[in-house]
Structure 1
Amino acid sequence: MAEKVAKLELPGNDSIELPVKQGTAGFDVIDISKLGSKGYFTFDPGFLATASCESAITYIDGEQGILLHRGYPIGQLAVESNYLDLCYLLLYGELPSKAQYEKFAATVRNHTMVHQQVEFFFRGFRRDAHPMAMLCGVTGALASFYQDSLDVADPKHREIAAYRLVSKMPTLAAMCYKYSVGQPFQYPRNDLSYSGNFLSMMFGVPCEPYQVNPIIERAMDRIFILHADHEQNASTSTVRLAGSSGANPFACIAAGIASLWGPAHGGANEACLKMLEEIGSVDRIPEFIERAKDKNDPFRLMGFGHRVYKNFDPRAKVMRETCHEVLTELKVDDPLLDVAMELERIALEDEYFISKKLYPNVDFYSGIIMKAIGIPTSMFTVIFALARTVGWIAHWKEMLDQPGHKISRPRQLYTGEAERDFIKLSDR
């Protein structure tokens, strides 16, 4: 098959032929990498029409509501798999055999502890510090403890760093929570699953044994699975950008955490809970529904619709089922959860929401689940970062594994002053 080519007409009647690349799914991509030699660059604020890399990890079709990890639909993974199974898939490209899985899971379990000196970093934080601020700081600081895995040119070092980050992130996340509530840190337990261990470190106390509720454990695992990777979003692109310079993996993941902290990215489920608090009670819902429909009102319903998914969020169906399982199990008496369930009912039946495809998304349901479990809203984005770490690492490894990768260097359209003579301070 002949290679497809796009022809670009340039000023002065010049033209240039640009190769058109085809992936295994999705849009064709015009290769503009040689355009600079002709003295031109493309202008694409936010890189919304620019493919920054080649990747074989995750595929999204927002129009059809498709999310695939290494070719496997997210719905199947969330129901049939578990988080560590997905971690292996993202990192290595194929599902593990039973023996490979057992070895992988055992290695992760055996690296969940962090260096004891990390505890002293937390003592330097104020008790009311945001957990994301602490997580960002201590993650970057890991580079000072694990200096035997900082040579990013060494594939073995990259693999060791991947294991360490996937293993230790739940421990660090739980430490952020424990410090903020003034409780002692809980050591990891190797007899528990990845999600069960996280719940134990979050809610366990030294004075009595912690019993993991299997329904809550499965819900937590699904939250991790559904947030593990989402293609070239802001935080993943940040990790790749930092990694392109040869920065160590702990610094790169800290950069991803900082990017995720932005309310337009990782703070959606936290914003959803704040919206429910603003509504306050079921009887006020009609008032806020009318405000949401009013184009002149700044109020917006958070947790409905999605920037990427124009039809439905494929993660939301599984999360909805899990949400109702958790609420049934815990029998939580919380007015905000009543508000959430009534909002969900309206969104699935109201013609306005249906016509605009404003269905409840994964952030809506995950926020409700975490609130029901007892996780404070300040920890929501921390848990998002915990889950997303494996996706960040998978993209970081993929980039460094590709031959000829370069340091990222976006261009700009300069609109400042042209060259002008400097005026000495005495003459101004």
Structure 2
Amino acid sequence: MKSGLEDIVAAETKLSDVDGTAGRLIIRGVSLDDLVATSRFEDVAALLLDGLFEEHSDAASIRAQLGVARVELFTHVKAADAVLLALPPVEAMRALLARIEDGENFATAIRLMAAPAVFLPALLRLQKGEKPIKPDASLSQSADILRMLTGKAPTPQQTAGLDAYLVTISDHGLNASTFASRVIASTHAGLTSSVLAAISALKGPLHGGAPGPVLDMLDAVGEPANARAWLSQALDHGERLMGFGHRIYRVRDPRADALKMALRPIFESGQADAGRIALAEAIEAAALALLKERKPDRPLETNVEYYTALLLDALGFPRNAFTGVFAIGRTVGWIAHAREQMLDGRLIRPQSRYVGPLPKAA
């Protein structure tokens, strides 16, 4: 028995391969670098879902179907009452997703991919006392998300930045939320149930709830010159440096570099404070040097959370919504794994080892 199922192979998949030693992520035979450079969200959705449903849909078809679904799903926003709006955004989004009928077909998959893209921006506006903005079916998923969030047409750099993020986090092996999705799918409960289970796992702070504190760290450091002293004090108090270290990667997380590259055009075009990325780079350099000095036996490199925080902040998402944005991108991966499990897998039923007290003889 290994705690946390460490190194236990629980599924065979054709969807993604995470090589933690080499720092490499492959999605359906395409390296992450190539995928981010050439793909939008709809492209990676077509790639991941290919062959998992009776329907064959290319990126253009998926874009059109997502647009129609976003408009149809907007009616569910009116169910967001005061109780729901008092919840954290990802929990409120999960509650609205539960309104989608369960099913195992492609139509359900489309609705589940479109739903968080509609619900999260609407909920964020409602929580600020603003009116939700109706989706525009003619736009891409990323462009429409940003338009519904801000009320303005996004720039090409902003749309490309969000596309890069959604592509980067679309799938990542058998992480906790994906495993939860596959467990539910193995019972044939339906895709909605699988996605709801996955979101419930994602919102835990040990999985998808960590990018926000990266910005808290940047705010606390304030200036590049303060980086080493502030980080040293944090380590002296036993605090974790947010955005560094990963359960799988023993080298730099390849997703960190992909998102850093996606950030550049936004800052260089003056659409965000250029000093922010300069501060982030100074903190990153100081943190990596200190971690190497303090913990030479532990491979602690920059992970996906670090530049996720900067990118989503630059795009206008509030910190408490970062986990919800993660769910928008990862839902397609959860659906692909759920379908793969339904088609090729068995009911997931591991054994447990009893270590409690034995009954006493009379």
TM-score by length of 1: 0.77
- Cα drift, residue 181 of structure 1: 1.3
Matched, 1:188 2:112: no
Cα distance, 1:120 vs structure 2:
3.3
Structure 2 equivalent of residue 52 of structure 1: 10
Checking the alignment, whether the CA contact within 8 Å between 1:129 and 1:180 is kept in structure 2 is no
Counterparts in 2 of 1:216 and 1:164: CA distance versus 1, 3 Å: same
**Counterpart-to-counterpart distance in 2, 1:292 and 1:268:** 17
Tell me which of 394, 399, 402 is aligned to 2:336. 394
Q: Secondary structure of 1:268's match?
A: coil
| Higher gyration radius (CA) | 1
3-state SS in 2 of match to 1:88: helix
Q: Which has the higher helix share?
A: 2
Q: Which amino acid aligns with 1:211?
A: A
Question: What is the aligned partner in structure 1 of residue 201 from structure 2?
Answer: 259
Q: Distance between the aligned counterparts of 2:238 and 2:287, measured in 1?
A: 19
Residues 1:133 and 2:133 are matched in the alignment: no
Letter in 2 for 1:342: A
Q: Deviations over 1:356-384 (max 9, x none)?
A: 65433221111111112221101100000
Cα distance 1:151–1:138, how it changes in 2: closer, same or farther (>3 A)?
closer
Q: In structure 2, how many angstroms separate the alpha carbons of the residues matched to 1:129 and 1:285?
A: 34
| Counterpart pick for 1:380 among 291, 311, 322 | 322
SS of the residue 1:79 aligns to = helix
Counterpart amino acid of residue 358 in structure 2:
A
Contact 1:65–1:309 (Cα < 8 Å) also in 2:
yes
Partner Cα distance (1:232, 1:335) in 2: 37
> CA 1:243/1:125 → structure 2, altered by over 3 Å: closer, same or farther?
same
- Mapped partners of 1:350, 1:420: distance in 2: 55
1:212 aligns with 2:212: no
In structure 1, runs of 5+ residues without a counterpart are: 1-42, 144-149, 153-157, 205-209, 423-428
8 Å CA contact retained: 1:195, 1:220: yes
SS of 1:56's equivalent in the other structure is coil
SS at match of 2:183: helix
Q: What does residue range 117-266 of structure 1 map to in structure 2 within 5 Å?
A: 117-125=75-83, 127-143=85-101, 150-152=102-104, 158-204=105-151, 210-266=152-208
Alpha-carbon deviations, 1:61-92, whole Å to 9, x = none? 10001110111101100011111111010011
Segments of 5+ residues of structure 2 without an aligned counterpart are none
Q: Could you say if the C-alpha distance between residues 351 and 117 of structure 1 is closer, same or farther in structure 2, counting changes exceeding 3 Å?
A: closer
In structure 2, what is the Cα distance between the partners aligned to 1:114 and 1:124? 23
- 1:360 and 2:302 equivalent? yes
Aligned mate of 1:112, from 70, 77, 82: 70
Q: Which residue of 1 aligns with 2:257?
A: 317
Question: In structure 1, what is the Cα distance between the partners aligned to 2:198 and 2:266?
Answer: 30
Aligned length: 357
Q: Which residue of 1 aligns with 2:49?
A: 91
Distance of aligned partners of 1:331 and 1:115 in 2 relative to their CA distance in 1, 3 Å threshold: closer
CA RMSD in angstroms comes to 2.6
- SS of the counterpart of 2:192? helix
Query: Structure 1: which 4+ aligned runs deviate by more than 6 Å?
Result: 348-351
Work out whether 1:306 is the aligned partner of 2:246. yes
Matched AA of 2:315: I
Structure 1 equivalent of residue 351 of structure 2 = 411
Q: CA deviation at 1:332?
A: 3.5
Which structure is higher in RCO with an 8 Å CA cutoff and minimum separation 6?
Answer: 2
Percentage of pairs with the same residue = 27
